[in-house]
Chain A
Amino acid sequence: MTSCLHTIQDYGLRSLGIGERLLPREGFTLCEQVTLIGSGMIWNIYFGVLALLAGFFLATALALGKNAHSRWLRKPAEWFIFLFRGSPLFIQFFFAYFLFLSLKSVHPFFAPFTAAWAGALVVLFLNTAAYSAEIFYGALQSIPKGDIQAADALGMSGWSRFRRITWPTMLRLAWPAYTNEAIFLFHATTLVFFSGFPAWQQRGDALYYASYFADKTFNPFIPYPILAGFFILCTLGIIALFGLINRRLNRHLPQEARQKMRLRFNLIR
């Protein structure tokens, strides 16, 4: 038990480069595997949270663009969404890394983007923005006509109508599907070091450490299930958090309707 605490001290923040410099090379206790894979989760959470937060705003803009009357707004938004939704993340990472490498030689500003913490974050951000934009666009299309008419009748227009009526209704309608997207994005963060970006000084995400152990022990049946366990816990966390937000989004609805929605949400996700 104390030796495990010691391991956590040594390796708990190893993925950030803090703690023991050398990874364990023999023995490989369960505690070491759980600690290091957990340490790698820091990166998965970092990529997931930041990409989702930033992607949310771009997605709103893109959805509005795709919904716009003007061709000049609509076409670029449509193409952006199609390009990022139509190709595997695998390939997006590949091209992004090549692109950032060549940009780096043009201007030193791009230097950080060849490292995963910035480069992969940009790709994940654009990717989730495209997927979320499609969800938001679908929601925009199904906003009840009456809501907009009521806003007009109250003399609202432009920004105030968008902020008070269109946007909240869109979110409410899109939320269950958006929760799914958050889960998918979070899972996609495992691809960062697996295919796209190099790992420096053995600082990687959870999958990087899991495959490190699988490679050293030649036994895939321990590290990967540990990894799976961490992800199940985090997925449940996402579902709980998004459930809370959903409740807040629907707090104005009559008690009965709200209850029903919440119940249904929990089961559908």
Chain B
Amino acid sequence: MKKTILATAVLALSAGVGLAQDRTVRMGTEGAYAPYNFTNDAGEIDGFERELGDELCNRAELTCEWVKNDWDSIIPNLVSGNYDTIMAGMTVTDEREMVIDFTQDYQPPTPSPYVALSEDVDLETGVIAAQTGTLQAAFVAETPATLIEFATFDETIAALRSGEADAVLADLEYLAPVVEDSSGELLFVGDRVPLGKGIGMGVRKSDSDLRDTFDAAISSMKEDGSLNELLIKWFGENTATY
């Protein structure tokens, strides 16, 4: 099994060399989703995906350029050809797979936690805040709980603090630093909710060469353990690795 993976990897890597000669790969990201991708003090795109993406391009011998795009239109702009990949903490879901292709995941699926001000909130029927258009919002909509949607993530936390919402449901890696910084005010409560199939890189369906190239590069990073190192560096010791 491993051998075949390696063989395809070598094959695809050589295909990557062919690609490199005639195009620059434009990498689309949001730039506002720490620690996955964010704009650092110097105004550059930084984060787990920036570091990972640069290394992947390096291994595939591609010239890569980072492009910021608003989250809401990130997929329409990919299929329209304004950039070639999406690395924006995007969870692989069936819905998204109908429209674009994903590489294998570069972060294992992590269940989403609830955050609240106290342990004894009613997650079953209470008011749960989530960001509009996220997997978490879609999940809460199907539970008996009352969903309240905000345009940005900051507003969901502000709503929790002001008592508008009883709890917030969001990605673990995104909530973790917020809970850590709140010095005990915010707590993880209840059971975590498994959503999606891990995080992968999105590419156009018509661009299968590029997908294979990056797939191979991700495989090689999984093989030699460098992906795990990056995961631990950005998400801490306890994060799920390969």
Contact = CB atoms under 8 A, between A and B. Distances in A.
A153 interface: no
A220 B95 contact: no
Interface in A174-220: 194-195, 198-202, 211-212, 214-220
A200 B146 CA distance: 7
Contact of A198 (B138, B141, B142, B159): B159
A99 to B, nearest CB: 12
Interface in A199-249: 199-202, 211-212, 214-220
B41 interface: no
Contacts of B96: 218
Nearest to B145: A201
Interface string B127-140: 00100110000100
B147 A215 contact: no
* Residue from A195, A201, A214 having most chain B Cβ neighbours under 10 A: A201
B148 A23 contact: no
Nearest to B156: A198
A14 to B, nearest CB: 12
Chain A's interface size range is 20 to 34
Interface in A1-34: 22-23, 25-26
A169 interface: no
A199 B132 contact: yes
Interface in A78-103: 101
Interface in A96-141: 101, 104-105, 114
A217 B72 CA distance: 12
Nearest to B161: A101
B148 A200 contact: yes
Contacts of B73: 220
Given A105-B162, A114-B164, A215 B141 contact: no
Given A198-B149, A201-B146, A101 B141 contact: no
Given A216-B95, A218-B76, A22 B149 contact: no
A73 B113 CA distance: 55
Contacts of B158: 101
B178 interface: no
Contact of A194 (B138, B146, B151, B159): B151
A202 B99 CA distance: 24
Contacts of A216: 95
B149 A199 contact: yes
Interface string B150-164: 110001001100111
A25 B137 CA distance: 13
B76 A22 contact: no
Contacts of B149: 198-200, 202
Nearest to A202: B141
A200 B141 contact: no
28 contacts: A22-B141, A22-B142, A23-B141, A25-B138, A26-B95, A101-B162, A104-B162, A105-B162, A198-B129, A198-B149, A198-B150, A198-B164, A199-B132, A199-B149, A200-B146, A200-B147, A201-B147, A201-B148, A202-B141, A212-B133, A214-B72, A216-B95, A217-B99, A218-B75, A218-B76, A218-B99, A220-B73, A220-B76
Given A212-B133, A215-B72, 14 more contacts: A22-B142, A23-B141, A25-B138, A101-B158, A101-B162, A114-B164, A198-B150, A199-B148, A200-B146, A201-B146, A214-B72, A217-B99, A220-B73, A220-B76
